[in-house]
Amino acid sequence: MDLIPAPRLVRTAPRGEDFVLNAGTSLDAGPGTEGTARWLRGALGGAFGVDLAPGAGGIVLRVDGGLDAEAYRLDVGPERVEIAGGDAAGVFWGAQTLRQLAGERAFRRAPVGGREARLPAVAIEDAPRFGWRGFMLDVARHFMPKDVVLRYLDLLAAHKLNVLHLHLTDDQGWRIEIKRYPRLTEVGAWRTGTKVGLRESTRFDDRPHGGYYTQDDIREIVAYAAERHIRVVPEIDVPGHSQAAIAAYPELGNTDVIDTTTLPVLTTWGVNPNVLAPTDSTLRFYEGVLEEVLDLFPADVSPFVHIGGDECPKEQWRDSKTAQARIEELGLRDEDELQSWFIGHFDRWLTERGRRLIGWDEILEGGLAPGAAVSSWRGYAGGIAAARAGHDVVMCPEQHVYLDHRQDGGPDEPIPIGWVRSQEDVYRFEPVPAQLAEEGARLTRRVLGAQANLWTEALDTVRAVDYQTFPRLAAFAEVVWSDLPAPALRDHDGFAARMTAHRARLDALGVEYRPPGGPHPWQRRPGVVGRLKEGPPPIV
Amino acid sequence: MDLIPAPRLVRTAPRGEDFVLNAGTSLDAGPGTEGTARWLRGALGGAFGVDLAPGAGGIVLRVDGGLDAEAYRLDVGPERVEIAGGDAAGVFWGAQTLRQLAGERAFRRAPVGGREARLPAVAIEDAPRFGWRGFMLDVARHFMPKDVVLRYLDLLAAHKLNVLHLHLTDDQGWRIEIKRYPRLTEVGAWRTGTKVGLRESTRFDDRPHGGYYTQDDIREIVAYAAERHIRVVPEIDVPGHSQAAIAAYPELGNTDVIDTTTLPVLTTWGVNPNVLAPTDSTLRFYEGVLEEVLDLFPADVSPFVHIGGDECPKEQWRDSKTAQARIEELGLRDEDELQSWFIGHFDRWLTERGRRLIGWDEILEGGLAPGAAVSSWRGYAGGIAAARAGHDVVMCPEQHVYLDHRQDGGPDEPIPIGWVRSQEDVYRFEPVPAQLAEEGARLTRRVLGAQANLWTEALDTVRAVDYQTFPRLAAFAEVVWSDLPAPALRDHDGFAARMTAHRARLDALGVEYRPPGGPHPWQRRPGVVGRLKEGPPPIV
């Protein structure tokens, strides 16, 4: 069956007890399972040309309060298939397993063979290890049209991942329509060209690049995700990584230090000194942005709002009379505390509105409101410190799960970046570091889960994104869902064997993953300079 | 209501008689309408979160033998919506109109507002003008992943277009897996780089480019199209435009004239002298290719097979002893007759297998089997001559409906090519030239319909393809479907007014069309050289 992610418990029954899915198969959807029924009708209806008309027997979906949230039980017998979920999400994850049982053809959108599928008789009990199983897509550095985002939601669902973190703003582009500030997209949503490769590269493409999501596009993305039991976490990055906003509204920058009216949307990469001014008017501006963001991302679907907070160089604040006056007025020690004050403002602002702030681990420096959470990206250390301080943590250490990092050390990887992180390396990623586990369950529980992050400086199309994301995201999905042993004891050979079947599913889905033997010739980018980190990555 | 394409007859009823589509709406699908029912459940189910469970009343679909093929009648009243189609396709086209009546939100994949839609009370009678309403997508010059093709099938369906012509092979790439000749894709499916702009451009991108459809991908595309009542016409281009095949199998070229082992998959554009050798082994090779093509494109869905036949320079045949010997052996006059013999071979070969050959209008030169059809691209003349000679014709004159041609004469069009062909120009395209109409119905009937063709030398992504295709494909759809008067009398102002509503549908679909005022900044390509044709295009 080669299921990915591996379920907790699988009992197979003798062959001959298989269930045959065909045009006569009915679907019996209990209360709370209507969304999964609709999804199954669409997915299997497309793949096999079946209707799954309502009726007793056949496929049965129901919520069983005796199971945990997101857990499910799947029983396949000759007469019927039953999925019982602890909640609507559990039923949906069970349906994802059902699709895998139906074979690779179930991942196509029209029948390529006969109009029936044989599901092996089996009993599966399953539940996720973590409640936060995330993927971050950077749509700021290279815009990915709405269809790409919807497609990735489908791919996340197929891997039982349940958080899409959308990095919506950065120096190189602003991707979300804000009605009260139209220049954020009129000016901020496009740039005149793009550095090809990382900053060290001498190549530049003078082709303009841009695009943004309208508010209806965002509503559609959020609703489409919700139907798949995926939460969308919007990221509006402050006070660094904000040059696209400053290009649109120069008064947001440190106008007493540089002439911000000449700042373009950035066309190159790297940490950038042009940051927001720590003024009241900047705070009011971003409150206005966030008011619209909260309207677009309802609290039940998107309780968390990510405010970035990473990589904010302090040079301009050091040189700015306005910033220095503010430090003095607030009685702060230095520019680092000024950043804390800035983040703290939005922490309180979001908390007052029933939301929770999440930010990159730099936000820890200076203290946070109790409900705030941390994306631990510079390693485990930030996450460990956050957990000790009583904050929830999403583990996404760049040493392990930054999927923009290269997949192999050979010369064929396109625009190679960072450390070599193979499928096996990702498979051996452990979200709860031993250090934290040793301190007991109270701290361990602070780790909500983990996230694989994909930055797109070097990824300009969905085809490049597919290559960099898969197959590693499948390994990551198993890490955050399944009941795996300690990293060194994990059976990567077994996982790799299951990946043979899984690659056929990805082929059917049209995912242009990295083949095991290396890139297809057309997936290479010879001669484009990335930025390597040599040797094994530090573990912390 | 602003329907596009405009239906033949619309009677509106007083407001207040509207139909409200919501979670309680049932769907009553008569025999032969199951596919449309499945499509409606998917489209409206996604857009509004409704299930359209089977049941009497609500939306009623049925086939009515009293109506013509592809015709439909749509009645919307307060209690029910009825679509009667002359056949399954007619029901499906009626469902497309129903979606337009449901408003722009019906074109999204998840609910962005309330979970209901109000359909205005109306009675519509409708039928297409032509049976061949086509779009050609060139996936050889730039490969478009399977998802792009499926998305375009959805877009064609939304515009009631019913033929997708896939240009699968050319000098710059071979895009279809052929099991017995694996090098066609191993070697032929990618190139080392690409000329940016047309041949005159000095720019070159050294990024490898490639990709191909597996046989299962093709089956999926064909089946997905069939569910939408769209025929897929595969094009395997011979004897010109074949350098990708020669790069894979050098023996296919004129080996006694040049060293074909050194020919790469072409990285630049234009008519190319490296053509197939007119040998028996070449014929056998392409019979092998076509055997697999016929297996993948079943006769009921794809009766026509396109063999190209355009732009075959004769220099190498003039210099080739082998070619000259063949001319002598066959008693032919010259190289032009040799090309006729080559095409004639596949014409007979396809006819013997119950298929019909179609080719570019160059294939007329030398006589064709009675069932063969012609794509008239160099103007109307080839189509007129073909009709007079008793052949069916698809009108696709480059002067009118080559969508790679620029949409405006201003400096902002990306990589401008050809004549200026605005939305209005396309709207005034007439598939049946006056000359032919004057010769009577017998000849007029030879015009099966028309096709808008999109060549992708300058279009490297789906975003660029969207820009070039829309809004003009919407105007083309109305030309081939609706009952329009003579070109000069057509109400383009009225069409343009309806396009306001239609652009909202395209926005909902995520189509990055050309805005009426010109490209978004990020849709421009400043400085990339295309190839202009000045002045109005010749009419013939």
A53 neighbourhood in chain B, CB within 8 Å: 54
Do B98 and B41 share a structural domain?
A: yes
Indicate yes or no: CB of A522 within 8 angstroms of CB of B147: no
Residues A402 and A375 sit within 8 Å (Cβ to Cβ): no
**pLDDT score, position A371:** 85
B109 neighbourhood in chain A, CB within 8 Å: 150, 220, 224
Do A240 and A92 share a structural domain?
A: no
**pLDDT score, position B540:** 65
CATH code, domain with B32: 3.30.379.10
Indicate yes or no: CB of A110 within 8 angstroms of CB of B223: yes
Do A420 and A286 share a structural domain?
A: no
Do B393 and B332 share a structural domain?
A: no
Do A333 and A274 share a structural domain?
A: yes
Predicted confidence (pLDDT) per residue in B435-490, tens digit: 999 999 999 999 999 999 999 999 999 999 999 999 999 999 999 999 999 999 99
Distance CA B383, CA A446 (A): 73
Give the SS3 label for residue A73.
Answer: strand
Indicate yes or no: CB of B41 within 8 angstroms of CB of A41: yes
Minimum CA–CA partner of A207 in chain B: B525
Q: Closest approach of chain B CAs to the CA of A182, in angstroms?
A: 15
Residues of A marked active site are found at 170, 241, 311
CATH code, domain with A183: 3.20.20.80
Do A225 and A302 share a structural domain?
A: yes
In a domain, A138, yes or no: no
Q: How many CA atoms lie within 13 A of B260 on its CB side?
A: 22
A525 neighbourhood in chain B, CB within 8 Å: 207-208
A203 in contact with B at a CB cutoff of 8 Å? no
Write out residues in chain B with pLDDT < 50, as ranges. none
**pLDDT score, position A365:** 82
A182 in contact with B at a CB cutoff of 8 Å? no
In a domain, B160, yes or no: no
**Two tokens, residue A292:** 């619209």
Distance CA A431, CA B495 (A): 58
What is chain B's alpha carbon radius of gyration, rounded to the nearest angstrom?
Answer: 24
pLDDT in tens, chain A (540 residues): 899 999 999 999 877 789 999 999 999 999 999 999 999 999 999 999 999 999 988 999 999 999 999 999 999 999 999 999 999 999 999 999 999 999 999 999 999 998 999 999 999 999 999 999 999 999 999 999 999 999 999 999 999 999 999 999 999 999 999 999 999 999 999 999 999 999 999 999 999 999 999 999 999 999 999 999 999 999 999 999 999 999 999 999 999 999 999 999 999 999 999 999 999 999 999 999 999 999 999 999 899 999 999 999 999 999 999 999 999 999 999 999 999 999 999 999 999 999 999 999 999 987 787 889 999 999 999 999 999 999 999 999 999 999 999 999 999 999 999 999 999 999 999 999 999 999 999 999 999 999 999 999 999 999 999 999 999 999 999 999 999 999 999 999 999 999 999 999 999 999 999 999 999 999 999 999 999 998 888 876
| Residue in the structure block whose two tokens are 């409906």 | B401
Reply yes or no on whether B413 is catalytic: no
Indicate yes or no: CB of B51 within 8 angstroms of CB of A42: no
Residues A98 and A119 sit within 8 Å (Cβ to Cβ): yes
Residues 400-419 of A with CB under 8 A from B: none
Last residue of a domain, one of A111, A126, A141: A126
In a domain, B159, yes or no: no
What is the torsion angle, in degrees rounded to the nearest 10, for the CA atoms of residue A398, residue A399, residue A403 and residue A405?
110
Pairing of strands A356-360, A373-376: parallel
A449 in contact with B at a CB cutoff of 8 Å? no
Predicted confidence (pLDDT) per residue in A129-171, tens digit: 999 999 999 999 999 999 999 999 999 999 999 999 999 999 9
Do B403 and B254 share a structural domain?
A: no
Reply yes or no on whether B170 is catalytic: yes
Phi, psi of A176 (to 5 degrees): -130, 125
The one-character DSSP state at A521 is: G
| Residue in the structure block whose two tokens are 């994949």 | B109
Do A300 and A361 share a structural domain?
A: yes
Distance CA A211, CA A188 (A): 9
Phi, psi of A289 (to 5 degrees): -60, -50
A53 in contact with B at a CB cutoff of 8 Å? yes
Do A523 and A422 share a structural domain?
A: yes
Other beta carbons within 10 Å of A295 = 12
In a domain, A162, yes or no: no
Distance CA A13, CA A206 (A): 61
| pTM, full prediction | 0.98
- In angstroms, the Cα distances linking A97 to A64, A384, B193 are 17, 34, 41
Distance CA B232, CA B218 (A): 10
* Contacts of A123 by beta carbon, 8 Å cutoff, 6+ apart: A10, A11, A13, A73, A74, A75, A76
Last residue of a domain, one of A343, A369, A395: A369
**pLDDT score, position B458:** 97
Residues B382 and B374 sit within 8 Å (Cβ to Cβ): yes
Residues 460-479 of A with CB under 8 A from B: 461-463
A238 membership: H or E segment, kind and range: strand A231-238
* Contacts of B247 by beta carbon, 8 Å cutoff, 6+ apart: B187, B188, B263, B264, B265
Distance CA B166, CA B159 (A): 18
A201 neighbourhood in chain B, CB within 8 Å: none
Nearest to A520 among B110, B210, B526 (CB): B210
Segments in A422-535 forming alpha helices (H): 423-427, 434-437, 441-444, 462-469, 472-481, 492-509
Minimum CA–CA partner of A213 in chain B: B510
Predicted confidence (pLDDT) per residue in A341-383, tens digit: 999 999 999 999 999 999 999 999 877 878 899 999 999 999 9
Reply yes or no on whether B227 is catalytic: no
Indicate yes or no: CB of B220 within 8 angstroms of CB of A110: yes
Do B336 and B397 share a structural domain?
A: no
Minimum CA–CA partner of B52 in chain A: A38
- β-bridge partners, A176: A213
What is chain A's alpha carbon radius of gyration, rounded to the nearest angstrom?
Answer: 24
Indicate yes or no: CB of B145 within 8 angstroms of CB of A208: no
A110 in contact with B at a CB cutoff of 8 Å? yes
Structural domains counted in chain A: 3
Enclosing domain of residue B483: 372-540
Indicate yes or no: CB of A45 within 8 angstroms of CB of B38: yes
Indicate yes or no: CB of A526 within 8 angstroms of CB of B206: yes
A520 in contact with B at a CB cutoff of 8 Å? yes
In a domain, A430, yes or no: yes
A510 in contact with B at a CB cutoff of 8 Å? yes
Catalytic member of B170, B362, B457, B512: B170
The DSSP code sequence of A259-328 is: -GGGPPSP-S-S--S--B--SHHHHHHHHHHHHHHHHHS-TTT--EEEEE------HHHHH-HHHHHHHH
Do B204 and B315 share a structural domain?
A: yes
The terminus-to-terminus CA distance of chain A in angstroms comes to 36
B55 in contact with A at a CB cutoff of 8 Å? no
**pLDDT score, position B57:** 84
**pLDDT score, position B539:** 72
In a domain, A213, yes or no: yes
Indicate yes or no: CB of B208 within 8 angstroms of CB of A112: no
In a domain, A78, yes or no: yes
In a domain, A269, yes or no: yes
Distance CA A167, CA A434 (A): 30
Distance CA B461, CA B509 (A): 17
Phi, psi of B185 (to 5 degrees): -100, -35
Last residue of a domain, one of B353, B369, B385: B369
Do A311 and A378 share a structural domain?
A: no
Distance CA B53, CA B65 (A): 26
B211 in contact with A at a CB cutoff of 8 Å? yes
